Amino acid sequence: MATINDNYLKLKAGYLFPEIARRVNAFAQANPDAKIIRLGIGDVTEPLPEACRQAMIDAVTQMGASATFKGYGPEQGYAWLREAIAKFDFHSRGCDIDADEIFISDGSKCDTGNILDIFGKDNAIAVTDPVYPVYVDTNVMAGNTGNANEKGEFEGLVYLPITAENNFTASLPTQKVDLIYLCFPNNPTGATASKEHLKAWVDYAKANGSIIFFDAAYEAYITAPDIPHSIYEIEGAKDCAIEFRSFSKTAGFTGTRCAFTVVPKNLTAKAADGSDVELWKLWNRRQSTKFNGVSYIVQRGAEAVYSESGQAQVKALISFYLENAKIIRDRLSEAGIAVYGGINAPYVWVKTPNNLSSWDFFDKLLHTCNVVGTPGSGFGAAGEGYFRISAFNSRENVEEAMKRITEKFKV
């Protein structure tokens, strides 16, 4: 008889966002006239930039003629897109990243899970707490953890609490870890990391032979000039870090799907016999075997992000969402609710009022205000007592949601 991967059974609570959807759907069915505003899942709402749309239209036209038709493309992504990324995202910031070190994919969520394919089962793994659930859940699925305790923490992971007391930037582990997940600007807290903070992590990783998985999906929201956008702005990072980027929140590609991962060619890890193995070769092999690449049409749309008009349109899009985040911060602060993030990031991290638990606040917000957010405890035990509100929505909805919340929850 066929057997299953029993590691999936450890995920008893289910993925956070489907659980939110279940509760919201149940409420909507029971209250069909309720005008629900969704500020939970980080899905964008504004249209794709015109430059991207036009590039895709042109690409579709090319697919309709034999002379310009495209079949299978390179699994790593077309050279013209990787070269544009290298130039605009890395060389412009002084990062020595070659186009060949960039792998185009259909999402950073996928890549942060799939990267585990090239690493062994005996690595000590560190995650911040709270943390993007995919980092934890994919390690559980891969068999890298034991069972969860009563707080939801999985045996075998090293949890690094990020709190208001440490400005939501974790302290270095007191023990040796091999794989380290860092996300800045941070999801869910909206915190950013200084060069000094990232330098400490790079120094730790190099001293311990560790690999940093650096999720920079929200780097485009950084407006402060002194905050690094890439881990590779830190000296020595190419020796110890893999970076994940996405077009989803930058240019609204959540439904279009395009992202990329950077694996420096000099980056190595140990084989069972103690020899050094280049991770670029392993990731290239993995992608060439398990992935057929992102469509030509979508990659042309992504390339247009780097055109003059594309850059202007993307900047306007990001400014729109950042203004939403400012409205959320300002309105909640005026109501006496403690808030964090939302300045160089599209997420506002809220201290739940009246000592409500994260899920109790979720339910109360849904039932009394018809507004959906994300319970902080869904991101980890240290997220209990907090709540994430996303700036991804229309201006009208954000204004209305804040009006409803502040009328009910003045502190």
Q: Are 345 and 192 in contact (CB under 8 A)?
A: yes
Q: Is 206 annotated as a binding-site member?
A: no
Taking the C-alpha atoms of residue 300 and residue 309, their distance in angstroms, rounded to an integer, is: 14
Taking the C-alpha atoms of residue 45 and residue 222, their distance in angstroms, rounded to an integer, is: 20
Q: Cβ contacts of residue 221 below 8 Å, gap of 6+?
A: 185, 249, 318, 321, 322, 344, 345, 346
Q: Are 131 and 183 in contact (CB under 8 A)?
A: yes
Q: Is 15 annotated as a binding-site member?
A: yes
Question: CB neighbours (10 Å) of residue 331?
Answer: 18
Q: Are 347 and 187 in contact (CB under 8 A)?
A: yes
Helix ranges (H only) for 33-163 are 50-63, 79-85, 108-114, 133-141
Q: Is 257 annotated as a binding-site member?
A: yes
Q: Is 171 helix (H, G, I), strand (E, B) or coil?
A: coil
Considering only CA atoms, which of 76, 86, 160, 115 is closest in space to residue 269? Answer: 115
Q: Is 292 annotated as a binding-site member?
A: yes
Q: Is 390 annotated as a binding-site member?
A: no
Q: Is 108 annotated as a binding-site member?
A: yes
Look at the alpha carbons of 114, 118, 122, 128 in this order and tell me if their dihedral is positive or negative: negative
Which residue type does 11 have? Answer: L
Q: Is 27 annotated as a binding-site member?
A: no
Q: Is 66 annotated as a binding-site member?
A: no
Taking the C-alpha atoms of residue 376 and residue 178, their distance in angstroms, rounded to an integer, is: 27
Q: Is 132 annotated as a binding-site member?
A: yes
Cα–chain center distance at 287: 20
Taking the C-alpha atoms of residue 33 and residue 218, their distance in angstroms, rounded to an integer, is: 35
Q: Is 171 annotated as a binding-site member?
A: no
Considering only CA atoms, which of 259, 180, 179 is closest in space to residue 219? Answer: 259
Calculated CA dihedral for residues 372, 373, 377, 383, nearest 10 degrees: -160
Q: Which two tokens stand for residue 210?
A: 């560790």
Q: Is 378 annotated as a binding-site member?
A: no
Q: Is 248 annotated as a binding-site member?
A: yes
Q: Is 395 annotated as a binding-site member?
A: no
Q: Cβ contacts of residue 243 below 8 Å, gap of 6+?
A: 214, 215, 216, 230, 231, 232, 261, 262
Q: Is 109 annotated as a binding-site member?
A: yes
Q: Cβ contacts of residue 280 below 8 Å, gap of 6+?
A: 101, 263, 264, 265, 267
**Bridge partner residues of 180 (DSSP):** 126, 212
Annotated binding site: 15, 42, 72, 108-109, 132, 187, 218, 246-248, 257, 292, 388
Annotated binding site for pyridoxal 5'-phosphate: 72, 108-109, 132, 187, 218, 246-248, 257, 292
Annotated binding site for substrate: 15, 42, 109, 132, 187, 292, 388
